[in-house]
Structure 1
Amino acid sequence: MKNTAYRLFKKPFFGRFMRPWRWPEQIDPQPWQRLTIDSSSGARLSALLAESHAPEAKGAILLAHPMGTVAKGFWLKQGHAELLRAAGYHVMLFDLNGFGESSSTTMDYPLDVLAAGQALQQHYPQLPLAVLGASMGAAMSLCALAQPGHPFKAAVLEAAFPTLLHFWRRYPIPSLGIRLSMLLYPAGERRLRPLHAAERLVGKPPLLMIYGEDDDYTPVEDGLQLHLALSGTTHTEFWRVPGAAHTLAYTAQPQAYAQRVTAFLDTYLASHN
């Protein structure tokens, strides 16, 4: 009954994105191992794991996807997964609950990030972990960093919104749903509010925040608001990407993105390796 109520509440937000998942065309599935992860959200999460191209990996990276029917396939299609494997990192992709091949339960998406991160740590207990997220995946990853027991030593967050209302303000029905949740279930809404998490980061992992100058959904000024809150808590770098639309910084500036992201990960995971 509870999960049915959540599925109905989710529909105005994510209904058009929750479709049967297909393997992205022209991507070789051979290197990828399929996994199933139990999340405290009640969901069974679908995940993919691939090894680094380097003989000795520097660490392992969890990738948390933005909204979209392609879900975890976003990282395969856009090239992030291969970039990180070539840079010497093991990579795990996973579907947030209700997306891709994961079952749909509550809206406690930070618990999905936490479960996937802990599963990745179990695979590589001797290696440092980071999380890389985009849009919804970035925001929920930030919220996961406020959860006790998260395994992440650093995070790269692209287009993370400060609050759910910032992202959904253009859409009347989702905005109304969020405002009602703030009245009826304020604790639940706070768990999904990156600005709330910014003051409560566990372990204070360093962050690289990325925002596209052509992003209409999470504009730079939203990112600056979140950056201001985070910079008082932990080391936080901010990168404005010229010509980048929403979640497409790597597409807009591939060489700069590769250099900036891998240098950040190399710097802040090396001290834990």
Structure 2
Amino acid sequence: MIGTARQQAGAHPADRSHLVVDVLTAAAGAAGAGAAFLVGADGSAAWRVVRVAAVLVVTALAMYVIRRGPPVLRAVTTFVLGLAGVAAGAGIAVPHLSKAGWSPAAVAGLVLLTAGLLLFGYGAVGTVWSSPGWSRLATGPAVLLVTVVGLFTGSQAVAATNVPRTGLRSATPADRGLSYLDARLVTADGVILSGWYLPARNRAAVLLAHGAGCTRSDVLEHAVVLARQGYGVLLYDARGHGRSGGRAMDFGWYGDQDVAAAVAYLRQRPDVDPARIAALGESMGAEEVIGAAAGQPGIRAVVAEGATARTTADWDFLAPVYGARGRIQQRVDEVTYAAADLLTDAGPPISLRAAAAGIAPRPVLLITAGRVPDETFAAEYLRDGHHHVQVWQVPGSGHTGGLSTRPDDWQRRVTAFLDAALRPQT
């Protein structure tokens, strides 16, 4: 009897209430329903069935543990399930509500976030409370560490694979005094991309890839600069952005297919010499054109502004620069990319360093922001040992702000680079 009394005294107070168990069970069910809706929205039918079934099985097991398991196991289960729900809910609800309003994905994200907060709060306190004696001094920091890493990696992975659609702005090339055609591109996996094409006057052309969360509207001024130099310019919405079909992936893992479709479009244009095509990308688009060019010999030159990383290997420059802090960041990013891989049909691409090596001897110009040191560190890591890679750091520039910060320098350097790379072959 004395032992029983002590156990009850050391138990989490909430474990004495059947009402709390009922609420936690309902929260776990709601979180599972929200997660099942989200994972069932992407990929082939078979892959969606597998993922939904996995979510439902995990949810059912968690609900059983909450109702029938001992207090310690209940606390740990609700902590893990709640942390996953908060990370996923935040990664979906926040961007979707801010960009798309009350969409089904936003509602599912809010359900996940709300249920996750309830489960996480109970689980975190319960996990620490259930630890015997002095072990609570270690359990508390461990719970905090897992929470920080889980929220950071999980929310990033979810946000990158559940991207709200960004609409085009009203301006078109015609508003800049340039004639253009509406372009329709078809990728190898059947996704239809939408874009604008500004016809060439010098028989050379440049495909223009925008960044994550953006559209072709965001690279219109870059297109204007190139078009006024006589280049044909194809600016298109990446899949899941603007008016393009498909589902977006903000790490740029669909870039190879999207860029290949853009190259195919330019190669069939009567005003373009197929041997005189280049690619220019901003941010995510910069990483996409670097990666795609390695497998697209039809791309004669690459200009990439604001490229840093889209795989774990791309962060290998961190350890030499930042030491232990850099190595910790790499391990955290490994978890982020592994989680993202589970949430999308797109497979992780080759590293940017491997892609840069594969582009040789075709020239690459990497443009970095003076106010974002990691961009220059990443560019120097890509350039290391490769004479075909050039790096230009734009003084005073923010991320992808080269043209707005130094318009004359940007125009001069980029057009001189393209003129040299795309001169007619004899």
TM-score (norm 2): 0.53
Assess, with a 3 A threshold, how the Cα gap between structure 1 residues 92 and 25 changes in structure 2: closer, same or farther. Answer: closer
Counterpart position of 2:356: 198
**Distance between the aligned counterparts of 2:207 and 2:191, measured in 1?**
18
Q: How many residue pairs end up in the alignment?
A: 257
Compare the two structures and name the one with the higher helix fraction.
2
Structure whose alpha-carbon radius of gyration is higher:
2
1:73 corresponds to 2:217: yes
Aligned partners of 2:168 and 2:216 also within 8 Å: no
CA contact (8 A) 1:140 1:192 kept: no
Q: Distance in 2 between matches of 1:221 and 1:173?
A: 19
Please name the residue that 2:30 is paired with. none
Contact 2:205 2:272 in 1 (8 A): no
Give the match for residue 267 of structure 1: 420
Are 1:210 and 2:367 matched, yes or no? Answer: yes
Aligned to 1:40: 188
2 CA distance for matches of 1:247 and 1:222?
A: 15
> Unmatched 5+ residue regions in structure 1?
none
2:280–2:302 contact (8 Å) kept in structure 1: yes
2: CA distance, partners of 1:118 / 1:111 = 11
Using the alignment, how far apart are the partners of 1:16 and 1:184 within structure 2?
A: 12
Give the strand-richer structure, 1 or 2: 1
Q: CA RMSD in A?
A: 3.5
Is 1:137 the counterpart of 2:285? The answer is yes
Aligned-partner residue type, residue 75 of structure 1: V
1 CA distance for matches of 2:332 and 2:167?
Answer: 25
Choose between structure 1 and 2 for higher RCO, CA contacts under 8 A separated by at least 6 residues: 1
Mapped to 1, the partners of 2:279 and 2:44 lie a distance apart of 27
| 1:156-179 per-position Cα deviation (integer Å, ceiling 9, x unaligned) | 111112444568x98x99874413
Amino acid at match of 2:361: K
Within the candidate set 235, 241, 251, 1:93 is matched to 235
Shift of 1:65: 0.6
TM-score (norm 1): 0.80
User: Residues 102, 184 of structure 1: CA spacing in aligned structure 2 closer, same or farther, 3 A cutoff?
Assistant: closer
Residue 155 (structure 2) pairs with residue 155 (structure 1): no
Query: 1 CA distance for matches of 2:332 and 2:175?
Result: 40
Distance 1:151 1:62 in 2: 12
Query: What SS does the corresponding residue of 1:75 show, helix, strand or coil?
Result: helix
1:237 to 387, 390, 393: 390
User: CA–CA distance in 1 between the matches of 2:44 and 2:343?
Assistant: 17
Counterpart in the other structure of 1:224: 380
State the identity as a percent. Answer: 26
